[in-house]
Amino acid sequence: MKKFPHLENPVGGSTTVDRKSVYPIHEWRRPRVQQLLQSSLRLAEQMFSRPEPSESGRSQRRQRQKSYLVRAD
């Protein structure tokens, strides 16, 4: 059970991984977290605002490969 600490108390118990990776809502005002949010927002806007033909073709190909892999399972 040492390999899977989250199985020992699955409900209500937070592990160190949870505390480090998940930001509580009251910490969103911190500058670092704001910076992360802004950068991710900018990335999303860049991805969706300019659909270049080469980019869309690549994503379609990737999607096809994914669906094929899922069906193979």
Residue extents of the structural domains in the chain: 13-72
**Residue at token pair 């990737």:** 62
Q: Is the model more confident about 49 or about 43?
A: 43
The per-residue DSSP string of 12-55 comes to TPPPHHHHHH---GGGTTSHHHHHHHHHHHHHHHHHHH---HHH
Q: What is the mean pLDDT of residues 66-72?
A: 55
Share of the chain above pLDDT 70, in %: 27
Q: Which residues of 6-21 are buried (b: 16+ CB within 10 A; e: fewer)?
A: eeeeeeeeeeeeeeee
Report if pTM > 0.75.
no
Distance between alpha carbon 21 and the CA centroid of its chain, in Å? 11
